[in-house]
Amino acid sequence: MKNVCYTAFLLFVLTVNCTLAQPPGATIDVQHYIFNIDLNDNDNTIACKAKVALKFIKNAKSFNLDLVKKNAAGKGMLVTSVTENGKAINFLQNADNVSISAAGVAGSTHTYSINYSGIPADGLIISTNKYGKRTFFGDNWPNRAHNWLVSVDHPADKASVDFVVSAPAHYDVIANGLKVNETPLPQNKKQTHWRETAQLSTKIMVIGVADFAIQQSANINGLPVYNYVFPQDSVKGFKSYAYAKEILPFFINKIGPYAYKKLANVQSKTIFGGMENAGAIFYFEDSPGSRDIESLMAHEIAHQWFGDAASEKNFYNLWLSEGFATYLTHYYLENKYGIDTLKKRLIADRIKVTAFEKDRFTPVVDSTVKDNYMPLLNANSYEKGSWVLHMLRRKLGDEVFWKGIKQYYALYNGKNANTDDFRKVMEKASGKELAVFFKQWLKTAGHPVLKISYDTSTEKGKIVVKVEQQQPVLYEMPLEYIINKQSFTVNIKNRLTTFKVQLPINEITFDPNVNTLAEIIMADATYRVKK
């Protein structure tokens, strides 16, 4: 009966799905995965029976799926069979993929079964938590899923997914989607089945298997919110994760509908402080009681919209994920605690951006990083990307900016975008040409360095303020300043910009509202001129 249900569901998926953004040169578009995974407490070997439903994008005699092969150290996966409708298919397993000798014509759909087993070299972290209890946590970002999941391990190939996990009965299992059922098995084991019908990249497909204390903390318009924490941390864990009840409706109201059918906040053991797995966010072990838990949760929940539902086409455009989550965190905290909180966070981010550029001078959209994408987790992707959104918000105004953000999410929910896709949406929403803005802030390395000086010798009763761009590449931007509590703006474009100020004045303050990603260097301090 279970196989019949799977077959019917796969036929449904293959019927309704369409080809979305794909990796360059892709032969196939995966529509749906079913991973039947068997775990045990005797060793770290996992056994997987995977079903991969896919559509051929073009005529081909074979295709590849990503999977790390068992190595000399004994880590990795060994494929034992590939079949279609019970018929054996020839395959060749290489170091990082499985080449499957199955022909297909463009538009045709197929479902392949792949059996494999082994000890994951990465991706599924099998370990013990701080209390010495055994745990299993998926940890796929950026392209580490194929250490344990046979897949197209690229953010542009999205698919729905079922996880059917068999494990010792004392464990609780969390995964993407909704729980379909939980069934006792012989030998004191149980099977837990989770299904996610939304389109996911492999980077956010996960399972978490541990001894958990579980709480449903809220129901937001029919959307259940759960907390999964280690039993020893249940009191402070449930208290810490309660911020989700505020954060989730805030982003729903500001951006658009939540893409998934639940939100689970999960204490875990992974390499990141937080990982935005779709509908099942993993937080680091010591997150319960952490002083920064609210901002961390806001960041990871914001990712459910940007990075998860609306994803980047490739990791070079990572700022569309991390920059968005960073700025949305600032925005949430601004609305809760006030504008000064936003200013303080932007100032701290500006320091990080300028410091990072001394170590690595590269644009935000950085295509020079190959294979290992971990270096893209940097101040460009996070803090500078966030700053770009802040300056765009100030350039367009709140009403137009948030209108564009909503339209961008609505258009790319379940799909993939790059920086130019986002630019076009914001141009349409605002009616403004934004190519120069996007090029200088996202595709050009560096930032403006403004040396500000002035003199009183040129014209009696006035001072002449000089703003000199000292960086090699010129920027176009507004620069705010305040004279005697009155606000003004000067447009900076050339190497040297000058403007006159009538005396007497008490002081001049530049960028008082923290709206410019620039270093401001004052030539002297006469007239109490301040940054």
Domains, the chain? 1-209 (2.60.40.1730), 212-308 (3.30.2010.30), 311-442 (1.10.390.10), 449-528 (2.60.40.1910)
Q: How do beta strands 263-267 and 223-229 pair?
A: parallel
| H helix intervals, 338-434 | 339-359, 385-396, 398-412, 419-430
pTM of the model: 0.93
Pull the structure tokens for residue 422: 């986002």
Cα–Cα distance for residue pair 144/153, rounded to 1 Å: 8
Cα maximum dimension of the chain: 95
In whole angstroms, how large is the CA radius of gyration of the chain? 26
Burial class (CB in 10 A: 0-12, 13-18, 19+), 397: exposed
What residues pair up with 38 in beta bridges, in sequence order?
Answer: 47, 166
CA distances from 91 to 60, 95, 151, 229, 433 (A): 15, 13, 15, 42, 51
Q: What is the DSSP string of 264-331?
A: EEEE---SSSEE--TTEEEE-TT-TT-TTHHHHHHHHHHHTTBTTTBEESSGGGTHHHHHHHHHHHHH
Cα–Cα distance for residue pair 172/161, rounded to 1 Å: 19
List per-residue pLDDT tens for the chain, 531 residues long.
333 333 343 444 444 444 456 888 899 999 999 999 999 999 999 999 999 999 999 999 999 999 999 999 999 999 999 999 999 999 999 999 999 999 999 999 999 999 999 999 999 999 999 999 999 999 999 999 999 999 999 999 999 999 999 999 999 999 999 999 999 999 999 999 999 999 999 999 999 999 999 999 999 989 999 999 999 999 999 999 999 999 999 999 999 999 999 999 999 998 999 999 999 999 999 999 999 999 999 999 999 999 999 999 999 999 999 999 999 999 999 999 999 999 999 999 999 999 999 999 999 999 998 889 999 999 999 999 999 999 999 999 999 999 999 999 999 999 999 999 999 999 999 999 999 999 999 999 999 999 999 887 777 889 999 999 999 999 999 999 999 889 999 999 999 999 999 888 888 999 999 999 999 999 865 444 444
| H helix intervals, 88-242 | 234-240
Single-letter code of the amino acid located at 94 = N
Look up residue 14 and give its DSSP letter.
Answer: H
